[in-house]
Structures are given as C-alpha cells and as structure tokens.
Amino acid sequence: MQWLNYFAFGDMGWGDELLSGLLVTLSLAFCALPLGLGLGITVAAAAMAQGSWPKRVAAVFTTVIRGLPELLTLFIIYHGVGLALNQGVNALWPDFGYIEFSPFIAGTIALGLVFSGYSAEVFRGAWLATDKGQREAALALGLNKVLVFRLVELPQITRLALPGLGNLWINLVKDTALVSIIALDDLMRMANVAVGSTKKPFVFFLAVCLVYWLVCMVFEWCIAKLEQRANRGIHTF
C-alpha cells in the first residue's frame, strides 16, 4: 500500500495539489455552464424567430461551433482573443504594456461556446415539441409574448430539454481536462505534474479516472433527481 503515500497531504504527497486541481476543474465547469445555457437559449430563440436573418445567424453559429474540435476552439479563444486584446489596447494606449489573458477565462469562454452550440439544438428541439395550442390560448387570454414564454413555454422547454442538457453537462465536465494544455492548474495538469515528478503515470492517471467517474456519477444522480422533479404530475401512456 505504499502507493497511498503519493496521495498524502502536505510535503509528503500530492493530495493537496490534486484537490486544488479538482476545485479548479469544478469551478471552470460551473462558470462555463451559465454562459453556455444563456447563449444556447438565445441562439435557439433566434432559430425559432420569424425573420430569415436570425435563423441564418443561428444556423451559422451552431454549424461553426459544432464543426470545430473543442481543443481548436480553446486555442482560438486563448491565443486569438489574447492577441486581439493586446493589439486593441496597445493601439489606444501604446505604453500600457502586455496583458496576460487568463487561461481560466479563456477556458470558460471556449467551453461555454462549445456547450451553447449543442444546447441551442437541444432547446430548439424542446421548443418544437411544446404544444402550440397552449401558446395560442395564452395569447387569446391577453398575455403578451414575454409572459407566454416565461409562464407557459419555458417550464415545458426546461422539462423536455433536461435529459439532453444533462448529457451535455457531463461532457462539459470531462472537457475541462482540455484546459491543462493552456497551463491552467486543473486536475489533469496537476496529475501531469505529479507524473513528471514521481514517474508513476499509472497511479496518478488511474486516480484521476476514478475522480472523474465519481464526479460524473454524482452529477448523474443530481440530474436524475431534477428530471423526477420536473416530470412530477406528468402522466405518460
């Protein structure tokens, strides 16, 4: 059981480094989630709009985001946005100096964009599955479009979209491992550092596998509970 010493806390092991990496991983996922959800439902609303231009913009957005590998999206955001930010600031204030673009912010934006590209289609499918007669009835009762969406359509969209969004959330948690490429001290990067120091790749990578598996199992249980709550009172035949 000597291998357990590698996961001790303090100077004798790597337990505290791996724990801090796990906290960074979870923080990154929870920060990317609202960005992806907000942008996803906005794109879905554009895809369901009556005008042709919003539909075209939504189609281009989802096609481009889903067509790019997640790692390439991360590189474009980290290097491209960072370069554009420095060039723009230096053009306005030549003596401002170099701005270091945060890997955490870059990872949040990149993962949020990837999540939104897929969640937009989930929201659009759920939107199409709602009963249009309820919308017409709400409009006939005098509710405006904003109230119809908030009180009638959104609760049904949320219920129908939960299974798909749950799968996307699990994928998002696992995709956070990509940010180790841009030197963010997440769980995967801390494991790589530990492997480089101890030359024990099997021990640390197996431990990281178990951590990701346990985290995903907890989130799957939470998603199942949310689905049960969302479907209460709904009878299927």
- Which tens digit of pLDDT belongs to each residue from 56-68? 999 999 999 999 9
Selected residue with higher pLDDT from 50 and 119: 119
Q: What is the pLDDT of residue 231?
A: 81
Please report whether residue 50 resides in a domain.
yes
The DSSP secondary structure of 119-144, one letter per residue, reads: HHHHHHHHHHHS-HHHHHHHHHTT--
**Cβ(114)–Cβ(36) under 8 Å?**
yes
Return the exposure string of 193-222: e unless at least 16 CB atoms fall within 10 Å of the residue's CB, then b.
Answer: bbbeeeeeeebbeebbeebbeebeeebeee
Please report whether residue 202 resides in a domain.
yes
Confidence of residue 32 (pLDDT cuts 50, 70, 90): very high
Please report whether residue 235 resides in a domain.
no
Q: Residue 167 above 90 pLDDT?
A: yes
- What's the whole-number mean pLDDT along residues 89-102? 78
> Which of 43-52, 139-148, 177-186, 192-201 has the weakest average pLDDT?
139-148
Please report whether residue 2 resides in a domain.
no
104: nearest Cα among 187, 17, 37, 31: 31
Q: What is the pLDDT of residue 200?
A: 87
> Which of 10-19, 36-45, 82-91 has the weakest average pLDDT?
82-91
**Cβ(119)–Cβ(165) under 8 Å?**
yes
Please report whether residue 237 resides in a domain.
no
Number of domains in the chain: 1
Please report whether residue 26 resides in a domain.
yes
Write out the residue range of the structural domain in which residue 203 sits. Answer: 15-230
Please report whether residue 68 resides in a domain.
yes
- 140/205 Cα distance (integer angstroms): 60
Q: What CATH number is given to the structural domain containing 201? A: 1.10.3720.10
Please report whether residue 55 resides in a domain.
yes
